C-alpha cells in the first residue's frame, strides 16, 4: 500500500515532522493535519547558505566534522532516504561513509546556542534508522554540527533509542491522520512558534 504526504491512505512521516513534534506536538497538527503554511525564517535561509559554504570548505579540512580525514571514504550531501515499511522519509544533510563500512549522519544547525536539544537527537535517530534500512548497516553514532560555532558534537546512537523513535513515529502518524488534537507544549515555546497566530 502506498503512503502519502498529503492525506492519502497512510500518512508518511517526514523527519522534519519529528523535529516539530518534539518542539511541540500541536505544531505537527497545525502544519500537517490542517496544512497551515510554514514560512521559512530568514535565519533558516542564512543557515542554509552557511552550510553550503561549509560543504565547499570540507575539501580543505584536516578533519571532517571532527572525524580524521583519512578515515572518511566518502562524503554524501543531501541524500533523500525513504522506507515504505516504516512510512518514514527524510533528507540527510551529510552522510559520512567511513573505512570499515561505518555510516555517520551529520545534521547542521544554525543557532545561537550550541547545545544538543532533544529534537536534534531524535532527528539523528530517524536518519540512523533510514540509513540502516537503506545501506544494510547499523549506525552507532551521529553528529550535530553547529555552523556558527564551528563545533561538532558526536552522539552515541543505540538500538534501544531507535526502537523508541519508531514508537514516536507512530504517535506522529496518528496526529497527522487527525485522530486527536495533541497537547500544547510549554508556553515559553509559543513565542518563537511559526503557527502561533493559528493556535488557540
Question: Looking at beta carbons only, is 136 or 197 nearer to ligand SF4?
Answer: 197
Q: With contact defined as beta carbons under 8 Å apart, do 25 and 180 qualify?
A: no
CB of 114 vs ligand SF4, minimal distance in Å = 23
CB of 25 vs ligand SF4, minimal distance in Å = 8
Q: With contact defined as beta carbons under 8 Å apart, do 22 and 122 qualify?
A: yes
Question: Looking at beta carbons only, is 1 or 200 nearer to ligand SF4?
Answer: 200
Burial of 142 (0-12, 13-18, 19+ CB in 10 A): buried
CB of 29 vs ligand SF4, minimal distance in Å = 8
Question: Looking at beta carbons only, is 9 or 188 nearer to ligand SF4?
Answer: 188
CB of 191 vs ligand SF4, minimal distance in Å = 8
Kind and range of the H or E run holding 48: helix 42-57
Cell output for 142: 551521529
Cell output for 106: 551529520
Question: Looking at beta carbons only, is 1 or 186 nearer to ligand SF4?
Answer: 186
CB of 22 vs ligand SF4, minimal distance in Å = 11
Question: Looking at beta carbons only, is 39 or 150 nearer to ligand SF4?
Answer: 39
Burial 149-160 (b: 16+ CB within 10 A, else e): eeebbeeebeee
Question: Looking at beta carbons only, is 165 or 195 nearer to ligand SF4?
Answer: 195
CB of 175 vs ligand SF4, minimal distance in Å = 12
- Rg of the chain, C-alpha, whole Å: 17
Q: Point out which residues bind ligand SF4 (CB under 6 A).
A: 24, 26-27, 30, 184-185, 189-190, 193, 195-196, 199
Query: In 3D, which of 162, 102, 155, 173 has the Cα closest to residue 129?
Result: 162
Query: In 3D, which of 102, 48, 98 has the Cα closest to residue 75?
Result: 98
Amino acid at each position: 500500500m502506498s503512503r502519502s504526504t498529503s492525506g492519502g491512505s497512510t500518512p508518511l512521516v517526514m523527519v522534519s515532522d519529528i523535529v516539530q513534534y518534539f518542539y511541540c506536538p500541536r505544531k505537527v497538527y497545525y502544519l500537517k493535519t490542517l496544512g497551515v503554511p510554514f514560512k521559512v525564517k530568514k535565519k533558516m535561509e542564512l543557515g542554509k547558505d552557511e552550510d553550503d559554504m561549509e560543504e565547499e570548505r570540507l575539501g580543505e579540512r584536516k578533519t571532517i566534522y571532527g572525524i580524521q580525514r583519512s578515515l572518511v571514504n566518502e562524503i554524501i550531501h543531501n541524500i533523500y532516504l525513504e522506507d515504505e515499511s516504516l512510512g518514514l522519509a527524510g533528507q540527510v544533510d551529510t552522510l559520512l561513509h567511513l573505512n570499515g563500512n561505518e555510516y555517520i549522519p551529520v545534521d547542521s544547525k544554525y543557532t545561537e546556542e550550541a547545545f544538543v536539544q532533544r529534537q536534534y537527537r531524535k532527528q539523528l535517530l530517524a536518519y540512523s534508522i533510514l540509513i540502516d534500512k537503506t545501506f544494510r548497516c547499523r549506525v552507532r553514532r551521529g553528529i550535530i554540527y553547529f555552523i556558527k560555532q564551528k563545533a561538532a558534537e558526536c552522539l552515541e546512537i543505540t538500538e534501544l533509542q531507535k526502537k523508541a523513535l519508531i514508537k514516536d513515529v507512530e504517535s506522529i502518524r496518528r496526529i497527522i491522520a487527525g485522530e486527536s488534537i495533541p497537547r500544547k507544549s510549554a508556553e515559553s515555546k509559543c513565542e518563537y512558534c511559526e503557527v502561533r497566530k493559528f493556535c488557540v
